Chain A
């Protein structure tokens, strides 16, 4: 993280009169604005503007081809009271998140602990775990769709050699989401692992030495030294992983297309379907804002809860 003083390094240490310093500060302020202006302008034109426009769109019934009409809160009313599929979608999304986030954090932390050792050949394993991250999600999902085929997929073919008839992995209301969770886990382990690896490297060795002298077991050292000291990274990982899994789309779109039935409809898939398949852009953006509020609330809860479990914050 950048310290608070990085904004004014140029005159550090030079003795100047007070007035001159003030003038300099004012001028530097303008340089600062000049430097951030391209970024700010880009943000306002290409992000903030469209966000405001789509919020306005959520109060319309726009379908691209006809004239748009303001219909007030009808989209939101329909979402909350008149759309059973949206409820399924929401619970599927939460189910995905509840399965995905803890598994992801446990696995990535475990992997990072295994891979922090500097023994020959470790680079290979780190690269192997990270490689899926740089693979396109579309390619990844298509390959796994073939692996999980009902009768002719790799997994069921292997099971068959042991005399087991595998289930229809992606054509089962119960299995479809867990299968997508497994595929997503394998895809995304690397990034969180890298964050944890960096955090583990930052834990000073002297704490471990002190713990060892006090007679702590390796488990206690992990529990009382490692975990508290990497808790800021844990916080970051939890937050971005929850946000990411609330927004899951690519693997669902490719592997199940929301099916079978509506058993893998997730929020972003439903937004896509409403807006781009049914041309209900107004309704689609309304759901997008509901998702936004949900993610915002989850993040705020974590943000204000962080003081209870983050022991060390810069």
Chain B
């Protein structure tokens, strides 16, 4: 009797485990499909009988849930206009983005339409994973000439194919706290730009005048972070220094000009105390930072900070007055081995068309001339002002920017340079010594 019970019990256990496993795997694979109809409003747009079955395009973004919702709303316009196509927006955290994309590419599960940023574009572009989009030049309605050519450079492969379309590009800007400037009775950066006096001397003077240790106020926040490339590249270029030569075969940072730049930032942190020390997490949103260098898209966060009055300005002019700005590009590509190339291309065109970019202009600086220079873009919000957008965004974009040439093992070089800059940030060596070490340790990494 007891034996029979044991047998029955173990049978039950095995069945239930097996059942759990199988429903588990089914559940996993069907989950996206069952959620899609609600996304796309399938009731309204049910495909006519005989039109073939629905397809699902996957498209990757980074960011947060708010951004995902924003994308899904825009995607809905696309799916409403294209019955039979569903679009799944995949949200991947920014920190994990490159890893996740490469793992998906390796396991052939990459999204059909893929959002990439400048630091990872060259590697994926040269791994022959992306579709050539050159034919878009022949589409008069799409008007590829409207897209700033300098922002497309990074998508040009060695075979001069075009492997993506920029969706968000433009200079990093200088946010400034209008209240702090008014309290000290200082001329704002934009006023100085119009006078033609927005130079690094003025910038340093302004930073000192804004700094007020008793209030915990710092004049500026640029130096000392964990992203030297975004923080320093513009200044290197305006002082006549450079990181690599054109084709990234030579390391050029060990120069008197870069020493001058690094010394300037070092003094801001450790001599004049106008810039928070490395390791400090104080943010511009706290209202305690006079000037802050950031992405244009940061203005969405700054607008949310209560009582913060800010505007944007271009970076000051250095000795090389016509230096290009450092263009931070991100954009869309189509995976070469997508099952639905035509539909994926259609989705890419939808997002990178004039209308598509205009839909996102509040968050992403549009790399299309017609959108960037439009009235709608300049007057979208109270902050930043139309004037700030003109001076910091539209005018530099028309002049053209430059992308840092990224060698194949850019990540190693990037980390190595950041690690060596830490020696400055811990005040363990002089600027010249650090640059000398960079020369010895970075140059061999360039193959």
Hey, which bits of chain A sit against chain B, CB under 8 A?
10, 24, 27, 31, 34-35, 37-38, 64-66, 145-146, 148-153, 168-173, 257-262, 273, 276-279
Residue among A145, A169, A276 facing the most chain B CB atoms (10 A cut-off): A276
Contact B2 A150 (CB under 8 A): no
Can you name 11 A-B pairs with beta carbons within 8 Å?
A10-B6, A38-B17, A65-B127, A152-B276, A168-B426, A171-B425, A172-B426, A259-B226, A259-B422, A273-B415, A279-B102
Residue contact B124 to A65, C-beta cutoff 8 Å? yes
> Which of chain A's residues have a CB closer than 8 A to the CB of B127?
65-66
Which residues of A are found within 8 Å of B123, using beta-carbon distances? Answer: 65, 279
Closest 9 CB pairs of A and B: A260-B422, A65-B127, A64-B106, A171-B279, A150-B279, A150-B277, A64-B102, A276-B99, A261-B422
Q: Footprint of A on B, CB under 8 Å?
A: 2-3, 6-7, 10, 13-14, 17, 98-99, 102-103, 105-106, 123-124, 127, 129, 216, 226, 276-282, 409, 411-412, 415, 418-420, 422-423, 425-426, 428
Whether A31 and B129, one on each chain, are in contact in the complex, defined by CB atoms closer than 8 angstroms, is: no
Provide the residues of chain B in CB contact with A148, threshold 8 Å.
279
Question: Are B226 and A170 closer than 8 Å at their CB atoms?
Answer: no
* Complex contact B428–A278 (CB within 8 A): no
Q: From residue A287, how far is it (CB to closest CB) to chain B in Å?
A: 15
> B2, A10: Cβ atoms under 8 Å?
yes
CB <8 Å contact, B13 and A35: yes
Q: Most chain-A Cβ atoms within 10 A of its Cβ — which of B10, B102, B279, B411?
A: B279
Determine whether the beta carbon of A261 is less than 8 Å from that of B277.
no
Give complex CA distance A173, B427 in Å. 10
Instruction: Give A277 to B412 CA distance when docked, in angstroms.
Output: 8
| Residue on B nearest A257 in the bound complex, by CB | B226
* B2: A residues at CB distance < 8 A: 10
Q: Which residue of B lies closest to A265 (CB)?
A: B419
**A151 near B13: Cβ-Cβ < 8 Å:** no
B333 to chain A, nearest CB (A): 14
Residue of B nearest to A256 (CB): B279
Of B105, B279, B420, which contacts A149 at CB under 8 A? B279
Complexed CA–CA distance, A260 and B226 (Å): 10
A contact residues around B13 at 8 Å (CB): 34-35
A240 to chain B minimum Cβ distance, whole angstroms, is: 29
Identify the closest chain A residue to B18 (Cβ): A38
Cβ B102 vs Cβ A152 within 8 A: no
- Compute how far the CA of A278 lies from the CA of B10 in the bound complex, rounded to whole angstroms: 49
Residues in B whose Cβ lies below 8 Å from that of A37? 14
- Chain A at the B interface: SS class: loop
In contact, A27 and B3 (Cβ under 8 angstroms): yes
Determine the distance from Cα of A259 to Cα of B279 in the docked complex, in whole angstroms.
Answer: 10
Given contacts A149-B280, A150-B279, A262-B419, contact A171 B216 (CB under 8 A): no
Instruction: Report A25 CB to chain B, min CB distance, Å.
Output: 12
Are B102 and A150 touching (Cβ within 8 A)? no
Distance in angstroms between the alpha carbons of A278 and B13 in the assembled complex: 45
Contact across chains for B281 and A146 when beta carbons are under 8 A apart: yes
Q: Are A260 and B103 in contact (CB-based, < 8 A)?
A: no
Question: Given contacts A31-B6, A31-B10, is CB(A152)–CB(B419) below 8 Å?
Answer: no
The minimal Cβ–Cβ distance linking A167 to chain B, given in whole angstroms, is 10
Task: Tell whether, in the assembled complex, residue A150 and residue B276 are in contact, meaning their CB atoms are under 8 Å apart.
Answer: yes
Instruction: Count chain A CB atoms within 10 A of each CB in B2, B280, B412 and give the residue with the most.
Output: B280
Question: Closest CB of chain A to B9's CB: distance in Å?
Answer: 9
Write the nearest CB–CB distance from A268 to chain B, whole angstroms: 15
Residues of B near A172 (CB, < 8 A) are 426
Contacts of B129 in A (CB 8 A): 65
Partner of A34, one of B14, B102, B279, B412: B14
A152 touches B226 (CB 8 A): no
Q: Is the Cβ of B124 less than 8 Å from the Cβ of A150?
A: no
Nearest Cβ on chain A to B120's Cβ, whole angstroms: 10
Bound form: Cα–Cα A180–B413 in Å = 26
- Write the nearest CB–CB distance from A26 to chain B, whole angstroms: 12
- Which of chain B's residues have a CB closer than 8 A to the CB of A257? 226
Q: In angstroms, how far is the closest chain B Cβ from the Cβ of A17?
A: 15
Q: How far is the CA of A66 from the CA of B216 in the complex (A)?
A: 51
Chain A residues near B226 (CB-CB < 8 A): 257, 259
Closest residue of chain A to B103, judged by CB? A64
B425 with A145: CB separation less than 8 A = no
* Other-chain residue from B99, B277, B409, B423 in contact with A151 (beta carbon distance below 8 A): B277
B281 touches A149 (CB 8 A): yes
Contact B426 A261 (CB under 8 A): yes
Whether the Cβ atoms of A150 and B278 lie closer than 8 Å is yes
Taking CB atoms, residues of chain B closer than 8 Å to A258 are: 419
Given contacts A65-B105, A65-B106, A279-B102, whether A152 and B426 have CB atoms under 8 Å apart is: no
B261 to A: closest C-beta gap in Å:
20
- Apart from A64-B102, A64-B103, list 17 A-B contacts with CB within 8 A: A27-B3, A35-B13, A65-B102, A65-B106, A65-B123, A65-B127, A149-B280, A150-B276, A150-B277, A168-B279, A170-B279, A171-B425, A259-B226, A260-B278, A260-B423, A260-B426, A279-B102
B105: chain A residues at CB < 8 Å are 64-65
Question: In chain A, what residue has the closest Cβ to B414?
Answer: A277
User: How far, in angstroms, from A295 to B315 measured CA to CA in the complex?
Assistant: 51
**Which residue of the partner chain B has the closest CB to A170?**
B279
Residue of B nearest to A279 (CB): B102
Considering only CB atoms, which chain B residue lies closest to A31 in the complex?
Answer: B10
Measured CA separation A277–B411 after assembly (Å)? 7
